[in-house]
Structure 1
Amino acid sequence: MDELKLRNVNLQQVQNQLRHKTDGLSSSTLVLRRGQPFTILINFDGRPFDPVKEKLVFRVILGDSVFMQSEGLRNEYIRNDFGLLFKGCPENLLCRPWSFDQYEKGILDICMKLLELSPQSQANTRTDLMNRSSPVYIGRVISAMVNSQDDKGVLMGNWSGKYKDGVNPSMWTGSADILRKWAETQFSPVKYGQCWVFAAVMCTVMRALGIPTRVITNFNSAHDTNENMVIEEYFSENGEKLSIGRDSIWNFHVWVESWMKRPDLGGGYDGWQVLDPTPQEMSAGMYRCGPAAVKAVHERKVNTLYDVPFVYASVNADVHRMIIRDGKILSTSIDKDSVGALICTKRPCPAMAMQDITSEYKTVMAQTGGGTTPRVVPKGVGVSLQLLKEPVVGENISFIVIITNNMLMTKLLRKHVNAQNKEYNHNPTGAFWEAHDDLKIGPNETVTVKHEISFNEYKLKETMEDCMVSLAVVIEDVKSQERVLATKEFNITNPALNIQIQNENSVIMNTQQVATVTFTNPFNFVVSGDLFVVGSGLLEERVQMRLTVQPRETMRRPIRFIPWMTGDKMLHASLELKDQSTILRGFKTVTVQAA
Structure 2
Amino acid sequence: MATTRKIFFGGRNFGVWAWALRHRWRYQSNGMPTKAWPRQSKPKERVQLVSSMRQLDLEIEENLQRHRTDAFAHSQTLVVRRGAVFRVSLPRTLRLFDALTVKITLGRLYVRIPVNPSPSRHLSRWVAFRDPEGGPGKLSVFIWSPVSASVGRYALRISAFARQELTFRASGKFILLCNPWCRADSVFLPHEDQREEYVQNDSSLLFMGTATNIVSRPWSMDQFEPDVLEACLDLLDVSPEHQRNEKLDYLHRKDPVYISRVVSAMINCQDDRGVLQGNWSGDFSGGVNASSWTGSGEILTSWARSGFHPVKYGQCWVFAAVMCTVMRALGIPCRVVTNFNSAHDTNGNLVIEEFYSEMGVKLKSTKDSIWNFHVWVECWMTRRDLGGDMDGWQVLDPTPQERSRGVFCCGPAPVRAIKERRVHLPYDVSFVYAEVNADVYTAVVSGGRVVSRSVDTQRVGPVICTKEIGFPRIHDVTADYKNVKSQYCSLSSSRSDSSTASRSSDKMSAALTLDETPVSGGVLRLTLKVVNRQRAAKTLKVHLNAQTKEYNHSPGETFWEKHGILRLGPLEAKSLKLRIFPTEYEDLVGDDLVNLAAVLEDAATREHVLAVQEFHVTAPELVVELEDEDKVALKREHGARVVFVNPFSHPVSGVLSVSGAGLLPARLVFRMLPLRPGGSGEQRFTFVPARVGQKMLQVSLMLSNKTTVRGFKMVSVEHL
Q: TM-score, normalised by structure 2?
A: 0.79
CA deviation after TM superposition for structure 1 residue 484, in Å: 1.0
The reply on whether 1:436 has 2:578 as its aligned counterpart is no
Task: From the superposition, tell whether residues 8 and 181 of structure 1 become closer, same or farther in structure 2 (CA, over 3 Å).
Answer: closer
Task: From the superposition, tell whether residues 53 and 594 of structure 1 become closer, same or farther in structure 2 (CA, over 3 Å).
Answer: closer
User: Which residue does 1:62 correspond to in 2?
Assistant: 147
CA deviation after TM superposition for structure 1 residue 371, in Å: 4.0
The match for 2:694 among 568, 572, 584 is 568
User: Which residue does 1:452 correspond to in 2?
Assistant: 579
CA RMSD of aligned residues (A): 2.2
Q: Deviations over 1:339-362 (max 9, x none)?
A: 00100000111x111100000001
Structure 1: distance between partners of 2:286 and 2:678:
35
- Judge conservation of contact 2:205–2:219 (CA < 8 Å) in 1: yes
User: Which residue does 1:29 correspond to in 2?
Assistant: 77
The reply on whether 1:541 has 2:666 as its aligned counterpart is yes
Structure 1: distance between partners of 2:392 and 2:452:
44
Structure 2: distance between partners of 1:330 and 1:309:
33
Using the aligned pairs only, state the percent identity. 47
The reply on whether 1:527 has 2:652 as its aligned counterpart is yes
Structure 2: distance between partners of 1:36 and 1:125:
26
- Report the AA paired with residue 595 of structure 2: S
> Counterparts of 1:129-208 in structure 2 under 5 Å?
129-208=250-329
The match for 1:73 among 194, 198, 216 is 194
Structure 2: distance between partners of 1:483 and 1:338:
21
Task: From the superposition, tell whether residues 198 and 443 of structure 1 become closer, same or farther in structure 2 (CA, over 3 Å).
Answer: same
- Judge conservation of contact 1:10–1:41 (CA < 8 Å) in 2: yes
The match for 1:359 among 479, 482, 492 is 479
Structure 2: distance between partners of 1:84 and 1:55:
45
- Judge conservation of contact 1:532–1:545 (CA < 8 Å) in 2: yes
User: Which residue does 1:226 correspond to in 2?
Assistant: 347
- Report the AA paired with residue 339 of structure 1: V
User: Which residue does 1:551 correspond to in 2?
Assistant: 677
CA deviation after TM superposition for structure 1 residue 52, in Å: 10
Structure 1: distance between partners of 2:301 and 2:513:
46
User: Which residue does 1:481 correspond to in 2?
Assistant: 606
The match for 2:633 among 502, 508, 517 is 508
User: Which residue does 1:104 correspond to in 2?
Assistant: 225
CA deviation after TM superposition for structure 1 residue 550, in Å: 2.9
> Counterparts of 1:314-325 in structure 2 under 5 Å?
314-325=435-446
CA deviation after TM superposition for structure 1 residue 564, in Å: 1.0
Structure 2: distance between partners of 1:54 and 1:266:
38
Corresponding residue SS for 1:62: coil
- Report the AA paired with residue 352 of structure 1: P
CA deviation after TM superposition for structure 1 residue 54, in Å: 7.6
Structure 1: distance between partners of 2:532 and 2:82:
65
User: Which residue does 2:245 correspond to in 1?
Assistant: 124
Corresponding residue SS for 2:81: coil
The match for 1:493 among 618, 622, 629 is 618
The match for 1:114 among 212, 215, 235 is 235
- Judge conservation of contact 2:359–2:543 (CA < 8 Å) in 1: yes
Q: TM-score, normalised by structure 1?
A: 0.95
CA deviation after TM superposition for structure 1 residue 366, in Å: 6.6
Task: From the superposition, tell whether residues 448 and 49 of structure 1 become closer, same or farther in structure 2 (CA, over 3 Å).
Answer: same
Task: From the superposition, tell whether residues 516 and 406 of structure 1 become closer, same or farther in structure 2 (CA, over 3 Å).
Answer: same
- Report the AA paired with residue 60 of structure 1: S
- Report the AA paired with residue 631 of structure 2: S
User: Which residue does 2:17 correspond to in 1?
Assistant: none
- Report the AA paired with residue 46 of structure 1: L
Task: From the superposition, tell whether residues 540 and 443 of structure 1 become closer, same or farther in structure 2 (CA, over 3 Å).
Answer: same
Name stretches of at least 5 consecutive residues in structure 2 with no aligned partner: 1-42, 101-114, 121-126, 129-143, 149-184, 489-495
Does 1 or 2 have the higher relative contact order (CA < 8 Å, sep 6+)? 1
Structure 2: distance between partners of 1:388 and 1:76:
36
- Higher mean displacement: 424-433 or 204-213: 424-433
Corresponding residue SS for 2:367: coil
The match for 1:46 among 96, 116, 120 is 96
The match for 1:400 among 498, 517, 527 is 527
- Judge conservation of contact 1:233–1:244 (CA < 8 Å) in 2: yes
The reply on whether 1:467 has 2:587 as its aligned counterpart is no
- Judge conservation of contact 1:4–1:46 (CA < 8 Å) in 2: no
Task: From the superposition, tell whether residues 144 and 442 of structure 1 become closer, same or farther in structure 2 (CA, over 3 Å).
Answer: same
CA deviation after TM superposition for structure 1 residue 48, in Å: 7.0
